[in-house]
């Protein structure tokens, strides 16, 4: 076989095998916390409710609950990240879990995406927390869900930083607003 034909076949094989990088959301933050404190923030109910949401069910084991309730007053299935679970745990290194879209994006919510949170100690009381969210579909509600979480994860990590800089989140005002909204729906 001549070299130009071989080069053409190689190029075609490479191009057919190559694909675009998968769409993902990548965020990171450095928090003024020990590795243990940062880890506990993501793997305990007390940690999650200190920065992420007012209520949660957290069972830090493979297959255990990683349920984050942004609206604890809502019906089951509409509280937020209902029925999510830990996919694996590498203590003080990595927490992967499945995730769903917000309740108003029903089509995308019927599927699951995947989030991996990694922890890297930088100093005794300083930890880098990196978040990688992948598994996105294309078009329609997937694009809306992607845009939503591109904004939301930045806020979640900023709230985590604020938790270690200024203290745990006070959810009183949030819950009062939810109660008023629930009353108006009646």
Successive 10-residue mean pLDDT values, the chain, 186 residues: 43 43 94 98 98 98 97 94 96 98 92 97 97 95 96 98 98 96 88
CA 170 to chain centre: 21
Give residue 11's pLDDT.
39
Six-digit token pair at 75?
């019906």
Give residue 13's pLDDT.
40
Q: Which structural domains are found in the chain, ordered by start?
A: 21-180 (3.30.530.20)
β strands within 59-181, DSSP E: 66-69, 80-81, 94-99, 113-123, 126-134
What pTM, to 2 d.p., does this model score? 0.86
């Amino acid at each position: 076989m001549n070299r130009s034909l071989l080069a053409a076949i190689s190029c075609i094989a490479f191009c057919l095998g190559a694909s675009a990088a998968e769409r993902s959301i990548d965020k990171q933050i450095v928090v003024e916390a020990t590795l243990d404190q940062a880890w506990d923030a993501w793997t305990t109910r007390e940690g999650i409710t200190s920065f992420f949401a007012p209520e949660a069910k957290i069972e830090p084991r493979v297959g255990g609950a990683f349920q984050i309730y942004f609206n604890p007053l809502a019906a089951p299935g509409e509280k937020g990240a209902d029925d999510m679970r830990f996919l694996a745990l590498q203590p003080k290194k990595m927490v992967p879990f499945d995730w769903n879209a917000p309740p108003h994006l029903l089509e995308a919510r019927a599927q699951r995406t995947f989030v991996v949170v990694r922890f890297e100690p930088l100093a005794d009381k300083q930890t880098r927390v990196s978040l990688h969210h992948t598994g996105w579909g294309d078009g329609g509600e997937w694009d809306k869900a992607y845009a939503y979480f591109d904004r939301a994860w930045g806020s979640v990590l900023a709230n985590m930083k604020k938790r270690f800089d200024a203290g745990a989140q006070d959810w009183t005002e949030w819950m009062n607003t939810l109660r008023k909204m629930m009353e108006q729906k009646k």
